[in-house]
Structure 1
Amino acid sequence: MNELESLKSIFKDRIFKIPDYQRGYAWTTRQLKDFWEDLVNLPVDRFHYTGLLSLKKVDRNIWANWNDERWLIEDRGFKPFHIVDGQQRLTTFVIFIQAISEQLRAIPENKDKKDEEIYLGSFSLKAIKEEYLVIEKPPQFIITTYKFGYEVDNPSFKYLRHKVFLEPDSGTVQETFYTLNLENAKRFFKENLQNYYDKYGLSEIEALFKKVTQNLMFNVYEISDDFDVFVAFETMNNRGKKLSNLELLKNRLIYLTTLYDEKELKNDERNSLREKINDAWKEVYYQLGRNKQNPLNDDDFLVAHWIMYFQYTREKGDDYIRFLLEQKFTPQNIYAKTEVKLSSLQEFEEVREDEDTDQEEVEVNGDEEITVLRSQLSPKEIEDYVNSLKAAAVHWYNTHNPINNPDLTEQESLWIDRLNRIGIIYFRPLVTVSYLSKGVNSDKRVQLFSSIERFIFITFRLSRAFSTYRNSEFYRAARQLRNGELTIDNIVQRLNDRMNYCFYTPENSKETYFDYTYFQKFIDKKFKSGGGFYYWNGLRYFLYEYEMEKVRRRGSQKIDWRLFVKSEKDKVSIEHIYPQTPTHKNWKDSFKNYKKLQLPFFQGTLGNLLPLSQSINSSLQNDCFDDKKNAKYNEKNEKIRQGYSDGSHSEIEVAGYDTWNPDTILERGNRLLEFMEKRWDLKFEDETAKAELLFLDFMLPEEDSNEEE
């Protein structure tokens, strides 16, 4: 362990690279705020211990291939290092210093000045950049060398250069899960520095710069052994922002490539395998961060891929990562050897570069078998695994982002969107793997997606099965489909078979009907808690599908799903047409023939619930029916609610009724159940069954009740 060093000392005559086994920049706003507050509150005459900086000196055979950095190493004696631990803090420091340089450049009096003419105290902007950020090679100034960066094939390095350090002429810059954090850090520091400058002036910006570069102190430790590098990465990084399992796995796989002996994995093959690991992770993190508004969780992806690729088990928690890191991809599985029988010709082909083997002798003994020792975990297994991860990543992204996705057909997009809206639960691996399986075309995928959607709606939203019902079976089906052990038709048949308990066939009948008793019991509990169908977790999906059916026939979509499911305080997007507090005289007249105890069933039944194209204040629900049909204005003639007559297709349909009373509620409820029958291919036995499910069977004529008895 060396003496404490400041950032100024650490950056003197050193070049830093983040190696390929490292994760990208992982700090989020929470860590940035902590850093900023520590820096602002640190007295200018005090030092602050910042932690351990673990470095590994880069071998000549590696840095000799660094075109842009080699001149500093060979001509000026700079020493190249990989950052093993501390890269999150160093990345933060250089982004902070870049933000300071941009703050200096933005000051009006510096507008037309060159970098060497702009000063922060006694430091010129040119000197600041060259000391911590970037140096151009004289005399041509064609080569631009960054003192801190990533391995050149990492998308984060290009993003850092062009989007953070503002190198011009970027071309296309790939954005990933990690570049979002780089972008956020740059924005965070620019905003805070501008506010700090506006409040305190340039002298306090200079004080912040001095504190960053001179008052924050590191223990700098150089690691000498390659083995220690990988162990240090797994252990040291967990002190800060915990490594994700996907990040740990990448480090582990790269480490394993270093353990094979030369006979089993030659150097060119080792380098190729390492490149394939990097390419796979590059693609994965690109896909995970592709949608800036909704970046995907890396561990969720890793779990799903484990389900697709390996034998699923029902153990809880971190079973998947224990399997990957403690059973499958371990050093022990490389050190442990297994016997492999090869023909002597195969053996000759493998060893001929190293052994003086007679070709003629091999041909004579070509039928003989030679036993050789190979690692239990072969390099080919690692290659196949990382290639599978890479291939799955784009389809994983597509399952989360189906709308306007050119990689999907219109029908695929429609059904995946439905699955996301209804709640895809445990089926996403199966949906993803349908794109990885040979012989599965778009029509078959749509058949699978529609069958999954029907299964979810009937089994979970109506029949109230536990959310884990049959999950192990369909997790295994994902792997079996990928391996060709099951077909789409097999899986669709299974989905249908697993719904048998949801249906019944009466005696002396050939018809099969939906058994609504599970659903009815569930809704009964909701009525007892004061909500009825309004508290059904499938209501929004159901009403939205009813609305979209009308959109498909008439055009003009009027309900935005994101706004429809958005929860706003004191606002509603599904209205009780007959309100829960019916104070208006018209309501009392329309429902006067029914008992007080029966009124909540009219309020909470399915036919009385209406999806609105625009959410309204809940107080507006209490208007009479005629007022609801037309737009409502306040005293300033400002519209405060949209009327049914110019609302969603469902609203327009309801606006077609002259009055809203018990009979119309039952009629609309039956219409909605008829849609349910057609849309999800189920059937209710008769009108009495529908009335019972709607909790309006007390409205039926007496003779209907007697026949039912």
Structure 2
Amino acid sequence: MHELESLKNIFKDRIFKIPDYQRGYAWTERQLKDFWEDVVNLPPDRFHYTGLLSLKKVDKSVWNNWNDERWLLEDRGYKPFHVVDGQQRLTTFVIFIQAISELLKTIPENKDEEIYLGSFSLKAIKEEYLVVQRPPQFIISTYKFSYEVDNPSFQFLKYRIFNELNSGTIQETFYTLNLENAKRFFTENLKNYYEKYGIIEIETLFKKITQNLMFNVYEISDDFDVFVAFETMNNRGKKLSNLELLKNRLIYLTTLYDEKELKKDERFCLREKINDSWKEVYYQLGRNKQNPLNDDDFLVAHWIMYFQYTREKGDDYIRFLLEQKFTSQNIYAKTEVIVSTLQEFQEVREEEKENDQEDIEENGNEEKVVLRSKLSPKEIEDYVNSLKAAAVHWYNTHNPVNNPDLTSAESLWIDRLNRIGIIYFRPLVTVSFLSKDVDSKQRIKLFKAIERFIFITFRLSRAFSSYRNSEFYKAARQFRNNELSVDDIINKLQANMDRWLFYTPENSSEIYFNYGHFQKYLEKQFKNGGGYYYWNGLKYFLYEYEMEKVRQRGSQKIDWKLFVKGEKDKISIEHIFPQTPDNQCWKDSFKGYKKSEINIFQGTLGNLLPLSQSINSSLQNDCFLDKKNPRYNERKEKIRQGYSDGSHSEIEVSTYEDWHPDAILERGINLIEFMEKRWNIKFENDHAKTEILFLEFMVSDEGETETENTNE
């Protein structure tokens, strides 16, 4: 242990690199805000303990291969270190200082060759903390703090954070997104701080972060297990994700095999494969900057696809990976393996080759028992290759729209699955792209069956979200191992619905949908005053009806993202007959019905309409004729769009002359018949359809509607 050291001390004659077993930059806006507040509020004459900085000196056999850094190490006596713990804070300091240096260049009175921050020259600041150029040609730029060269964050740090020119293609990942956000955060905050307080306060901030924030620097000795130290130390601060812990563990395990089982070049190759896999995984997880994917979600899903699923506790997957499968005990524990003498022969020295070949020919291909680690290097290789292969398909299942990797039909059906709520089927969908034996047509067939299962089982019949999940998690692994076909899985889906969701009456061969579960659920929603409006499948159902009209007529008018986005005091699904029917026009159209029946007319399916543009909820109470046509204020500004120029569903409703109980029943029956056709279900008769609409009171025994009887 050493005494507390400031950043100025720490960076003196040292070069820092983030080793391959480390995660990338993980701080988000919450940590950045805390850091900024700490720096701003720290009195200039006070020191502040920042935490532990654990370093491991890099061996010469490693840094000898560092081209850009070697001159500082050999000529100027710098010492190279891997950062084991403290990477997040060190990265944040460096980005902060870079943002200050860029701010100084934007101040009009500053000229490039003579920029100063108080008594600190910009050139000295950059050389002390950021980058040193090798004289006399100044071709080599050596970064005081960086990543290993093969890490995508290294290129990003150089070209996007430090602004080195001529970057070429830069691979962006889950972690580079955090680097970019951190730089934007400090750039904006420093600019605002400068405009408010002036350059003197920027100098104060610089002094505070380089001289007042103190680290406890700890150098890990050679005999200390650096990988175990990394796992233990990173339980502090922003906790390591399980995917990050697993990468460190796998790299650590490659160091434990003895030379007989894993030669030096094989060890290096396996370590490279682990790094390549994680590089690809983090690239895919961070591809969509607006919606980066959760790394632990991916790890859980891959575990489901790759290993035998169990349902003990939520964290049993990581306990299996880190405590049962990928452990040092499984390398030290030996198991007997039968190998042929031919395999043994391939491992002998070159000069003994001829004699051994004669023995082989004479004795034949004999078998012998040797001891090998319980966890073989090949198992690690297969696992990381599988992670790498699955990552792009995992990304595609989350981002199907306008995705060139998918056919238009695949994109359409995966988008539907995301909209309806894919629940536990994403691993199965991902696996469908990993098998060479499954073509696009088979995938579409599978996606259709999954979407139908979700709609009927969960949206209509109200099964718990975990219903049969372990069966289909296991099916994902069996599918990956070619133990199940697409048809096998579709049959499983249907069998799980046949048990309780379909029935065949006596003396009939027809199969009908058992809507009793949906009916009970809706009864509760009507009692709560919402009816179908409270159904969590409503937006998906109405959108699918609308998209069916788009396929028939063209011109899409409803954007799903805007349709499902909640806006205060605005609605995207309208009660045509409003919930507050105060206008006389509504009282006339629904004369003669009880209050309980009025409530059903308001909340039944046929009365609910998806709007192409959300409107203020107060406009819902307009009369039907006013809703059909655009409405303007005194300044002749349109304050609501009419049904006649809205969505296809609105245009369809606008063809009704008036809106009354018969119109609601007719449209409701049309929507139920669309449901039958779209999801391949069948209601037994017209009575069943009116019953599920809760409008059976409108139909007399002779089949006439109540309004027809009243009019007589």
Query: C-alpha displacement at 1:63, in angstroms?
Result: 0.5
SS of the residue corresponding to residue 288 of structure 1 reads helix
SS of the residue corresponding to residue 702 of structure 2 reads helix
List runs of 5+ in structure 2 lacking aligned partners. Answer: 706-712
Matched ranges for 1:308-387 at <5 A = 308-352=305-349, 358-387=356-385
For 2:150 and 2:436, locate their aligned partners in 1 and report how far apart those are by CA, in whole Å: 31
Query: C-alpha displacement at 1:190, in angstroms?
Result: 0.6
Query: C-alpha displacement at 1:642, in angstroms?
Result: 0.8
Matched ranges for 1:66-465 at <5 A = 66-110=66-110, 112-114=111-113, 117-225=114-222, 228-352=225-349, 358-465=356-463
Higher deviation after alignment, 346-355 or 403-412: 346-355
Query: C-alpha displacement at 1:230, in angstroms?
Result: 0.6
For 2:118 and 2:362, locate their aligned partners in 1 and report how far apart those are by CA, in whole Å: 83
For 1:96 and 1:510, locate their aligned partners in 2 and report how far apart those are by CA, in whole Å: 74
List runs of 5+ in structure 1 lacking aligned partners. Answer: none
Query: C-alpha displacement at 1:458, in angstroms?
Result: 0.5
For 1:173 and 1:345, locate their aligned partners in 2 and report how far apart those are by CA, in whole Å: 46
Query: C-alpha displacement at 1:354, in angstroms?
Result: 10
2:11 corresponding residue in structure 1: 11
The 1:354/1:611 distance shift into structure 2, 3 A limit, reads farther
Which string of whole-angstrom CA distances, capped at 9 and with x for unpartnered residues, describes residues 163-197 of structure 1?
00000111111110011110111011011111111
Higher deviation after alignment, 347-356 or 255-264: 347-356
SS of the residue corresponding to residue 23 of structure 2 reads coil
Matched ranges for 1:636-651 at <5 A = 636-651=635-650
For 2:351 and 2:201, locate their aligned partners in 1 and report how far apart those are by CA, in whole Å: 66
The 1:19/1:354 distance shift into structure 2, 3 A limit, reads farther
Higher deviation after alignment, 352-361 or 634-643: 352-361
For 1:265 and 1:85, locate their aligned partners in 2 and report how far apart those are by CA, in whole Å: 29
- Paired letter, 1:239: R
Query: C-alpha displacement at 1:353, in angstroms?
Result: 5.9
For 1:362 and 1:694, locate their aligned partners in 2 and report how far apart those are by CA, in whole Å: 81
For 1:299 and 1:589, locate their aligned partners in 2 and report how far apart those are by CA, in whole Å: 59
Query: C-alpha displacement at 1:360, in angstroms?
Result: 2.4
Query: C-alpha displacement at 1:704, in angstroms?
Result: 4.5
1:491 corresponding residue in structure 2: 489
- Paired letter, 1:57: K
For 2:486 and 2:494, locate their aligned partners in 1 and report how far apart those are by CA, in whole Å: 12
Matched ranges for 1:25-64 at <5 A = 25-64=25-64
- Paired letter, 2:385: N
Higher deviation after alignment, 637-646 or 274-283: 637-646
Query: C-alpha displacement at 1:227, in angstroms?
Result: 5.2
SS of the residue corresponding to residue 235 of structure 2 reads helix
For 1:226 and 1:98, locate their aligned partners in 2 and report how far apart those are by CA, in whole Å: 36
Query: C-alpha displacement at 1:345, in angstroms?
Result: 2.0
For 1:51 and 1:491, locate their aligned partners in 2 and report how far apart those are by CA, in whole Å: 53
Does residue 676 of the first structure (1) align with residue 663 of the second (2)? no
SS of the residue corresponding to residue 479 of structure 1 reads helix
For 1:258 and 1:593, locate their aligned partners in 2 and report how far apart those are by CA, in whole Å: 84
SS of the residue corresponding to residue 424 of structure 2 reads coil
For 2:63 and 2:350, locate their aligned partners in 1 and report how far apart those are by CA, in whole Å: 28
For 1:331 and 1:480, locate their aligned partners in 2 and report how far apart those are by CA, in whole Å: 29
Query: C-alpha displacement at 1:361, in angstroms?
Result: 2.9
For 2:171 and 2:382, locate their aligned partners in 1 and report how far apart those are by CA, in whole Å: 25
For 1:75 and 1:363, locate their aligned partners in 2 and report how far apart those are by CA, in whole Å: 59
TM normalised by structure 1 equals 0.98
1:466 corresponding residue in structure 2: 464
Query: C-alpha displacement at 1:344, in angstroms?
Result: 1.6
Query: C-alpha displacement at 1:231, in angstroms?
Result: 1.0
Query: C-alpha displacement at 1:259, in angstroms?
Result: 0.3
Which string of whole-angstrom CA distances, capped at 9 and with x for unpartnered residues, describes residues 278-336 of structure 1?
00000000000000000000000000000000000111210000000000000000000
For 1:16 and 1:310, locate their aligned partners in 2 and report how far apart those are by CA, in whole Å: 38
Query: C-alpha displacement at 1:341, in angstroms?
Result: 1.2
For 1:365 and 1:548, locate their aligned partners in 2 and report how far apart those are by CA, in whole Å: 73
For 1:35 and 1:98, locate their aligned partners in 2 and report how far apart those are by CA, in whole Å: 16
For 2:89 and 2:259, locate their aligned partners in 1 and report how far apart those are by CA, in whole Å: 37
Which 4+ residue blocks in structure 1 deviate beyond 4 angstroms?
Answer: 353-357
1:694 corresponding residue in structure 2: 693
For 2:604 and 2:562, locate their aligned partners in 1 and report how far apart those are by CA, in whole Å: 23
CA RMSD of superposed structures (Å): 1.3
Query: C-alpha displacement at 1:351, in angstroms?
Result: 3.7
Aligned residues of 1:40 and 1:208 also touching (Cα < 8 A):
yes
For 1:437 and 1:636, locate their aligned partners in 2 and report how far apart those are by CA, in whole Å: 63
- Paired letter, 1:308: M
For 2:559 and 2:281, locate their aligned partners in 1 and report how far apart those are by CA, in whole Å: 30
For 1:685 and 1:35, locate their aligned partners in 2 and report how far apart those are by CA, in whole Å: 65
- Paired letter, 2:41: N
For 1:484 and 1:627, locate their aligned partners in 2 and report how far apart those are by CA, in whole Å: 60
TM normalised by structure 2 equals 0.97
Which string of whole-angstrom CA distances, capped at 9 and with x for unpartnered residues, describes residues 607-651 of structure 1?
000000011111110011000011112222221111101000000
For 1:310 and 1:377, locate their aligned partners in 2 and report how far apart those are by CA, in whole Å: 15
Aligned residues of 1:570 and 1:618 also touching (Cα < 8 A):
yes
For 1:65 and 1:355, locate their aligned partners in 2 and report how far apart those are by CA, in whole Å: 34
- Paired letter, 1:96: F
Aligned residues of 1:347 and 1:370 also touching (Cα < 8 A):
no
The 1:167/1:226 distance shift into structure 2, 3 A limit, reads farther
For 1:42 and 1:204, locate their aligned partners in 2 and report how far apart those are by CA, in whole Å: 12
Query: C-alpha displacement at 1:703, in angstroms?
Result: 3.0
Aligned residues of 1:343 and 1:366 also touching (Cα < 8 A):
no
1:475 corresponding residue in structure 2: 473
For 2:657 and 2:622, locate their aligned partners in 1 and report how far apart those are by CA, in whole Å: 15
SS of the residue corresponding to residue 682 of structure 2 reads coil
- Paired letter, 2:199: L
SS of the residue corresponding to residue 210 of structure 2 reads helix
Query: C-alpha displacement at 1:113, in angstroms?
Result: 2.5
1:550 corresponding residue in structure 2: 549
For 1:411 and 1:278, locate their aligned partners in 2 and report how far apart those are by CA, in whole Å: 34
Which string of whole-angstrom CA distances, capped at 9 and with x for unpartnered residues, describes residues 565-623 of structure 1?
01111111000000011011111111102122210010000000000001111111001
Query: C-alpha displacement at 1:358, in angstroms?
Result: 3.8
Query: C-alpha displacement at 1:355, in angstroms?
Result: 7.9
Higher deviation after alignment, 498-507 or 77-86: 498-507
Query: C-alpha displacement at 1:226, in angstroms?
Result: 6.1
- Paired letter, 2:103: Q
- Paired letter, 1:648: S
For 2:157 and 2:241, locate their aligned partners in 1 and report how far apart those are by CA, in whole Å: 22
SS of the residue corresponding to residue 511 of structure 1 reads coil
For 1:219 and 1:511, locate their aligned partners in 2 and report how far apart those are by CA, in whole Å: 77
Query: C-alpha displacement at 1:140, in angstroms?
Result: 1.1
- Paired letter, 1:451: A
For 2:364 and 2:581, locate their aligned partners in 1 and report how far apart those are by CA, in whole Å: 94
Which string of whole-angstrom CA distances, capped at 9 and with x for unpartnered residues, describes residues 644-665 of structure 1?
0100000000000000000000
For 2:74 and 2:139, locate their aligned partners in 1 and report how far apart those are by CA, in whole Å: 17
For 1:236 and 1:135, locate their aligned partners in 2 and report how far apart those are by CA, in whole Å: 31
Identity %: 80
Q: How many residues align?
A: 703
2:624 corresponding residue in structure 1: 625
Query: C-alpha displacement at 1:705, in angstroms?
Result: 10
Higher deviation after alignment, 15-24 or 634-643: 634-643
SS of the residue corresponding to residue 205 of structure 2 reads helix
